[in-house]
Structure 1
Amino acid sequence: MKKNLILSVVLWQIWIATGLAQPGWVLHGVVMDRESRQPLPGAVVAVDALGLGVFAGPEGQFSLTVNGADSVLLSLEMLGYRKKLIPLKLADKPSGPLELGRIGLEPVPLKAEEVNVVGRREELKDALRSVTVLEDEALFRNQGQTLGDLLRDLPGVSILQTGPSIAKPVIRGVHSDRILIVNAGVHMEGQQWGDEHAPAIDPFAQARVEVLRGAAGVEYGAGAIGGVVKVSPPEPENDPILRGAVVLNGFSNNRQASGSLRLSRGIMHFPGLAWQVQGSFRKAGDAFAPDYAINNTGFRENNASGGFSFQRGNAKTVLFASYFDTELGIFSGSHIGNVTDLERAIERGQPATIEPFSYDIDPPRQRVRHLLLSLKSDYRFSSLGNLHMQYGWQQNRRQEFDSHRGFSSNPPTDAAFDLELTTYSMDLALEHNPVGSVYGKIGISGSRQGNARQTSGYLIPNFRAYSGAGFWIENWSRGNLTLNAGLRYDYRWVNAFVEEGSAFTENNSDYNALSGATGFNYQVGRGWVLAGNLATAWRPPSINELYSDGVHHGSARYEIGNAKLNNERSNSVDMTIRHLDEKHSLEISLFHSRYDGFIFLFPEAEPILTIRGAFPAFSYRQADAVIQGLDGHFDWHVWPAYLFEVQTSLVFGDNLDTDEPLVWMPSNRLKLAHQFSFRQGGQVVHDLHAGFSTRIVFEQTRVPENADYAPPPPGYTLWDVEFGARVEVGRVPLELHLNINNVFNTAYRDYLSRFRYYADDPGRNVILRMQVPIGGGVSGDLHQ
């Protein structure tokens, strides 16, 4: 019955899209040298506002599909030529093919600013792989939410959730130490090994978010087994006018208020020098499941960032500093007093005690503060290439507070454990000039870490770690074919001080290995591209996997480490096919990863009873495993104002040693979305858009027998709607956006929710967002 209902929903939405189908425009033309009249193969032809772009073919020819806009600004770029912009009014022209004829680009001497075209070429090449980029309007529509919530609906991405306030991305079935998160060019280091240790990134300080799915160990290093998330904060704007934006958000479910202020300006007396400051806050109380409040799930967050940029001649330097400070409540019903009560709580299925809504944050709770400094310099050597230098400094302090009162009636004021992790890093890379059809990058990197416990509470030991690496990547491109290959060597030395009774033992260990990758992109026909990648990547066991021994209060479980763990290695292959024509965009990626020594947490048969209560017990194990699946999306511009989207993610994990499924694999999911946009408007209201979507998550049936305290929850279907517009108030353009998530207030539990044993996930949430530009509009914000 349920399967028939899901099938009916899918067929109904496809019928809607089919019934509204109308064609768009296909731009045809030829790019050539204005003086020699020779074609320019490889020129970039793009409509930046719509995120569309193609390369000119061997004879300079191009074909670019445009839907959803009555007018566009077409850009044409080529290294060594002046960029050309062509405004096109499409509303006055009949839909279908539109011939633009021959378009000449003016040759210019090679200058430092021209190297941006190389970056554009790389972006478009990356888009042919399993990469998704979010910026501008896509970010604004989700601004003020965690990084995990921002990415949760992308193909191949789900989230690992610990209560309503903590979420981290899961890419193709893996997360934490198998995913690298890069913020302002610096690899984030903040006790990311914990399931409930979400990335410490200001949700308002994101100008661009890029998600690379699949192994990327050659360029990004040990740990990039499952993928990379790159967050780029906005850079200072070298403009004599003070510019910025005010963003205000309101959330109904947890009564959250959040906001941000950003200001930026160039310094007139110092040409090329600009500054920027930003501050943001978030405050929320208890989240609500459809039938009750989820007590002690509020949070408070205060963030600040700022920096300078300086550009002169061939050099550019950007300094960025940020401070992140959050306090998070942990659902009070997840900490149980004894084994019997734990079993009863799981059987009961909802909290035994439900208190009224509150903004109070009581133990169990977390406090996380993260300081980050990034100094990035780029210099263009005309005879050599681009030299990139990146220095990073981070300090992460994590405190977790227990609800256990001991012999006092008051909750404890001291943290159960208090960790301070300090990391220094340095990266140096040279992107050399093309040699014939070959272009590439070579680089080295190093880091130093120190972790210190600030209390007697023990979960992981104090340690020091040193890392070093070198890599080399080359690309060869000719005609419709691009080949690439790379190799990297990493070394890591760890000095840990392990507690054994009342004494400490000093354990030294070192890890080293090679990573490698090779791949291709091939344009097999008009609008069709085939891409493939073969990679081997690795990671050393993290400190918690080796030496954990205690209650991890954030996830409400007892974790047991294994000092005998070895390196984990992934050998993966993925194939991607993409199609783009006048109305459709399609991308399907198949992936297969074989893991030698896959490290995972396995639920023990019996909980562990401690002085603080009874907790589910989990131990770290290692086995050979396979994770494979499919992710993809299909966009259909049914007519200029209507877009129909389909996204799907399928992941299957198997433990090869036991011939059983892996635990904690994300459920298969499907998303159907309808977007309506009307760019033309009246004198007051502009750029109206609306949409609705259906998220279908199937029950996870592939789980090992007797390996969990409760069976996986049933699948669920959620409906979301959204509305937005730009409203002119006086001469100020306000961006307004309204989301209603889980419209029907459906009760559900996600398999990857760590609190699914005790409570439902949050219910309906109405979200209102408003952005007010400062200085006559913000460069880089919406509709600029």
Structure 2
Amino acid sequence: MKLFKVAAAIALCMILTITASAGNILKGSFIATIKDALTGNPIEGVSVYFSDVKVGGITNANGEIVINNIPEGKHLIEITHVGYNTISEYVDIIGETKKEYVLSHTVVESNTVIVTGTTGATQLKKVPFQVAVLNKEELLQNNATNIIDALAKKPGVSTLSTGPAISKPVIRGLGYNRVLTINDGVRQEGQQWGDEHGIEIDEASVNKVEILKGPASLIYGSDATAGVINIITNVPVANNTLKGNIFSGYQTNNRSTTNNISLAGNRNNLNWNVYTSVVSAEDYKNKYDGSVFNSKFSQKNFGGYVGYNGNWGYSHLLLSKFNLKAGLIEGDRDNDGYFIKPVAGGGEERATEADFKSRIPLVPYQNIQHFKIATDNSFKLGKQRLSINVGYQHNQRKEFGNVDDLNERELFFDLKTITYAAQLHLQEMKGWKTSIGINGMHQTNTNKGLEQLIPDYDLFDVGGYVYTRKTIKKITLSGGARYDTRNIHTSDLMNGLDVKGPAIKRSFANFSGSLGIAAQISHNLNVKLNIARGFRAPSIPELASNGAHEGTTRYEYGNSDLKSEVSTQIDAGFDFNTEHVSFDLSVFYNNFSNFILYRKLQNTGGTDSLINVDGQDLTAFQFEQTKASLTGIEATVDFHPHPLDWLHIENTFSFVTGRLKQSIEGNKFLPFIPAPRLITEFRGNIKKIRNHISNGYVKFEIDNTFKQHNIFKAYNTETATSGYTLLNAGLGADIVSKKGNTFFSVHLIATNITDVAYQNHLSRLKYAAENMSTGRTGVFNMGRNFTIKLNVPLNFSLNAGR
């Protein structure tokens, strides 16, 4: 009820304020001409976009663009075109505003506009923290089995995976509830606390991803102590246009197929988008395991939005529905090393070739359904702007593990979440751009399965903050403060009719904040420094879990006495860019008090404490807290040797180490920290190959992941991992008309060309059962894989109405 009162109050204030201010809102328009700096010729197809009001378009054959119905005021514009430098600057829209721009050819891009971690669209070089950006083009040119895997090539980003369908983001060594995922302005809420839970977002529908590395509690509250993954799906197309896209992809290793269709339109500023995807895969293969039984999955996704953009702002209604069925890989084999499966009536038998090639997961498997509806709004209030976002999500996760009753749901989490956020962007005063905001959520979980891993619970949190920024010549200062409260009330945790965990009622409150500076020392050199304090309230499983679930080898006990995690991070970096060299370096130190981790329990005999569940002995773990710190470095060097400006030689390096302030059983390292990684890519870009072939590229990549021996060895919690080197390659191009319009683009990608058998340090499959015939423990990652992608864009012009 508290949340509904807050939402109602916000809505009432919004309606009253808009009604009172509507008569004072003036129409603004933007007219621009964009030319080539070298030739003076107009450039067709240049993208012009105002991120904060979500309007934009592309230039015509004369290099001209007209964008109407822009709220008057100062807005950040982003002008982009392949092969040219990006222009981003603030434009003061007053009535009919006319501008002229010239774009220069460049091979280095360093002036991206972002929206993550701030209260409005901002130039990347003016934020004091580290943000990596992944655009649609990069997603097409690389291969991944899910959207989180696609992010893992960015420095500082890793994935914790449980097979090809389930991956969780890890930023600078931290994952689970320490990383917050945002999708089109809505905080994504599923069961991200578990190893075998993904984020319920389809890669094929994604347009852009922004990755903020470091505490982001100031803007987002609890659960953003490691960073934020901001996934942008719905982007309005230009006014009076209709755009479609047909995408199809195929991977040879697991015969994965992906098909996606999207259609977006904008008629007199009434804009909409609709998309649907179908993905399915057989069991994947590697050199040691052969076909990995029950690694198959099938996925369906549908979504879109409808909205209106006017001179007063915009209002969009978003909807998505995600459905994933994924096998749970247990890795059990017989004495001869063949994968086995349970059979009805008891007993086991070897998995057959038909089982490996089936696309329908077998027991045990999980079915995850995620429904989301949200409204995203921005209103001009005089010289101020009010942003409001309210969303409802229904996440259902079912585990099926009874081969004698395929409809029996051993676990069934039914999670309902309402999220809300409001920001008031105040009128700029003496160069200070200040926003005040409030956000939070109300969440309920109900168990509907036979077993309970976590109790039914009710959660409500709310937080308020102030954020401000000012640019003084070439120095930008930014920062703010925030206060949050979270109330949690659980029911008794039940085992049939018996209580195995008492009800819990806890409240958490904390301050967070940040202070940073970004300075443009010269035209080529930019320096950043940021200090941030973040916090995270303990999750429900950390407080109250008591049970086992498929996909892990653990029996987990919660700890109702846990306190909030508090982190303080110092982040420093610089980027140096010239015509032929770009170099980015960042270092960080993150200090935690009350860091939450789990470790194995021991019995009175000093050996592992085992809990027998359905005839299987599972090792018992319990959550506890200690002081800890993480230190790391990330670096990127991109070299374009003159006169071979088309050639890129790029190196990215990531390293993070986590340490306990006081050792546990002689162990000083935090568990599950990703191994150091160095990726070297040789890439050739050719803008025009022939009359009908353009934007071609060919690349070769050496992916070096080093050994990880700095592990938490106590109670055999974690094992060391050997290093490995993967060789990858790719090529692609656009097939175009005489006028340069793209008919379609094709991408050919090869990964793990030499078919290396390897285990990623953060793969949960490392801890699957031992293969008794070989002595190797666990299941290995995917082997050699070839991928083909075909992307067909469709563009139509609509006649403007009167």
TM-score w.r.t. length of structure 2: 0.79
Q: Could you tell me which amino acid in structure 1 is paired with residue 654 of structure 2? A: S
Tell me, yes or no, if the aligned pair for 2:489 and 2:503 is still in contact at 8 Å: yes
Matched, 1:78 2:91: yes
- Paired with 2:539 and 2:463, the residues of 1 have a C-alpha distance of 18
Matched, 1:183 2:183: yes
- Give the gaps of 5 or more residues in structure 2: 1-35, 39-57, 60-79, 109-114, 340-347, 602-607, 768-777
Matched, 1:314 2:324: no
2:537 is aligned to: 540
Q: Which moved more, 1:593-602 or 1:122-131?
A: 122-131
Shift of the alpha carbon at 1:430? Answer: 1.1
2:631 is aligned to: 628
Shift of the alpha carbon at 1:564? Answer: 1.5
Shift of the alpha carbon at 1:27? Answer: 8.5
1:393 is aligned to: 392
Shift of the alpha carbon at 1:776? Answer: 5.0
2:651 is aligned to: 646
Tell me, yes or no, if the aligned pair for 1:128 and 1:578 is still in contact at 8 Å: no
Q: 1:79 to 1:171 in 2, by over 3 A?
A: same
The residue correspondences of 1:331-480 to structure 2 (distance < 5 A) are 331-333=329-331, 355-356=352-353, 357-359=356-358, 360-383=360-383, 385-402=384-401, 410=404, 412-480=406-474
Shift of the alpha carbon at 1:313? Answer: 1.5
Matched, 1:751 2:761: yes
Matched, 1:739 2:736: no
- Paired with 1:529 and 1:450, the residues of 2 have a C-alpha distance of 45
The residue correspondences of 1:585-600 to structure 2 (distance < 5 A) are 585-600=582-597
Matched, 1:722 2:730: yes
- Paired with 1:484 and 1:87, the residues of 2 have a C-alpha distance of 30
Shift of the alpha carbon at 1:72? Answer: 6.6
Tell me, yes or no, if the aligned pair for 2:330 and 2:551 is still in contact at 8 Å: no
Tell me, yes or no, if the aligned pair for 1:531 and 1:575 is still in contact at 8 Å: yes
Q: Deviations over 1:409-452 (max 9, x none)?
A: x3643111100100112111012222112112111123211100
Shift of the alpha carbon at 1:467? Answer: 0.9
- Paired with 1:335 and 1:290, the residues of 2 have a C-alpha distance of 16
Tell me, yes or no, if the aligned pair for 1:335 and 1:613 is still in contact at 8 Å: no
Q: 1:433 to 1:326 in 2, by over 3 A?
A: same
2:343 is aligned to: none
- Paired with 2:757 and 2:655, the residues of 1 have a C-alpha distance of 23
The DSSP-based 3-state class of the residue aligned with 1:756 is helix
Q: Could you tell me which amino acid in structure 2 is paired with residue 752 of structure 1? A: L
Q: Deviations over 1:18-46 (max 9, x none)?
A: xxxxxxxx989xxxxxxxxxxxxxxxxxx
The residue correspondences of 1:655-734 to structure 2 (distance < 5 A) are 655-658=660-663, 660-708=668-716, 711-728=719-736, 733-734=743-744
Matched, 1:773 2:772: no
- Paired with 1:438 and 1:732, the residues of 2 have a C-alpha distance of 44
Q: Deviations over 1:590-627 (max 9, x none)?
A: 11111111111223434432224123433212111111
1:227 is aligned to: 227
Shift of the alpha carbon at 1:266? Answer: 2.7
Q: Deviations over 1:660-703 (max 9, x none)?
A: 11111111111111111100122222221010111111111111
Q: Could you tell me which amino acid in structure 2 is paired with residue 633 of structure 1? A: T
Q: 1:479 to 1:126 in 2, by over 3 A?
A: closer
- Give the gaps of 5 or more residues in structure 1: 1-25, 29-47, 50-65, 97-114, 343-350, 779-784
1:608 is aligned to: 611
Q: 1:596 to 1:690 in 2, by over 3 A?
A: same
1:264 is aligned to: 264
Q: 1:691 to 1:607 in 2, by over 3 A?
A: farther
- Paired with 1:72 and 1:475, the residues of 2 have a C-alpha distance of 26
Q: 1:199 to 1:479 in 2, by over 3 A?
A: same
The DSSP-based 3-state class of the residue aligned with 1:229 is strand
Q: 1:624 to 1:334 in 2, by over 3 A?
A: farther
The DSSP-based 3-state class of the residue aligned with 1:140 is helix
Q: Could you tell me which amino acid in structure 1 is paired with residue 747 of structure 2? A: H
The DSSP-based 3-state class of the residue aligned with 1:434 is coil
Shift of the alpha carbon at 1:205? Answer: 1.9
Q: Could you tell me which amino acid in structure 2 is paired with residue 421 of structure 1? A: L
Tell me, yes or no, if the aligned pair for 1:334 and 1:556 is still in contact at 8 Å: no
The DSSP-based 3-state class of the residue aligned with 1:719 is strand
The DSSP-based 3-state class of the residue aligned with 1:755 is helix
- Paired with 1:516 and 1:559, the residues of 2 have a C-alpha distance of 33
The DSSP-based 3-state class of the residue aligned with 2:780 is coil
1:782 is aligned to: none
Q: Which moved more, 1:431-440 or 1:568-577?
A: 431-440
Tell me, yes or no, if the aligned pair for 1:309 and 1:316 is still in contact at 8 Å: yes
- Paired with 2:755 and 2:266, the residues of 1 have a C-alpha distance of 48
- Paired with 1:335 and 1:225, the residues of 2 have a C-alpha distance of 40
Shift of the alpha carbon at 1:216? Answer: 0.7
Q: Could you tell me which amino acid in structure 2 is paired with residue 653 of structure 1? A: G
The DSSP-based 3-state class of the residue aligned with 1:149 is helix
Q: 1:85 to 1:251 in 2, by over 3 A?
A: farther
Q: 1:459 to 1:298 in 2, by over 3 A?
A: same
1:483 pairs, out of 477, 484, 501, with 477
Shift of the alpha carbon at 1:80? Answer: 4.9
Q: Deviations over 1:263-294 (max 9, x none)?
A: 12234xxx321222111010101010124110
Q: 1:119 to 1:469 in 2, by over 3 A?
A: closer
Tell me, yes or no, if the aligned pair for 1:244 and 1:777 is still in contact at 8 Å: no
2:123 is aligned to: 123
2:560 is aligned to: 563
- Paired with 2:711 and 2:119, the residues of 1 have a C-alpha distance of 44
Q: Which moved more, 1:742-751 or 1:729-738?
A: 729-738
The DSSP-based 3-state class of the residue aligned with 1:525 is coil
Tell me, yes or no, if the aligned pair for 1:293 and 1:354 is still in contact at 8 Å: no
Q: Which moved more, 1:313-322 or 1:727-736?
A: 727-736
Q: Deviations over 1:646-671 (max 9, x none)?
A: 11110101111226111111111111
- Paired with 1:89 and 1:626, the residues of 2 have a C-alpha distance of 44
Tell me, yes or no, if the aligned pair for 1:67 and 1:640 is still in contact at 8 Å: no
Q: Could you tell me which amino acid in structure 2 is paired with residue 138 of structure 1? A: E
The DSSP-based 3-state class of the residue aligned with 2:150 is helix
User: Matched residues, percent identical?
Assistant: 27
Shift of the alpha carbon at 1:355? Answer: 4.1
Q: Deviations over 1:306-344 (max 9, x none)?
A: 21120122221111100000000111425999xxx99xx
- Paired with 1:445 and 1:703, the residues of 2 have a C-alpha distance of 37
Tell me, yes or no, if the aligned pair for 1:75 and 1:83 is still in contact at 8 Å: no
1:20 is aligned to: none
Q: Deviations over 1:468-498 (max 9, x none)?
A: 1100011122012221221111111111012
- Paired with 1:489 and 1:395, the residues of 2 have a C-alpha distance of 27
Q: 1:122 to 1:684 in 2, by over 3 A?
A: same
Q: Could you tell me which amino acid in structure 1 is paired with residue 159 of structure 2? A: I
Q: 1:368 to 1:573 in 2, by over 3 A?
A: same
The DSSP-based 3-state class of the residue aligned with 2:640 is strand
2:193 is aligned to: 193
- Paired with 2:310 and 2:612, the residues of 1 have a C-alpha distance of 64
Tell me, yes or no, if the aligned pair for 1:545 and 1:562 is still in contact at 8 Å: yes
- Paired with 1:207 and 1:762, the residues of 2 have a C-alpha distance of 26
Shift of the alpha carbon at 1:175? Answer: 0.7
- Paired with 1:334 and 1:555, the residues of 2 have a C-alpha distance of 13
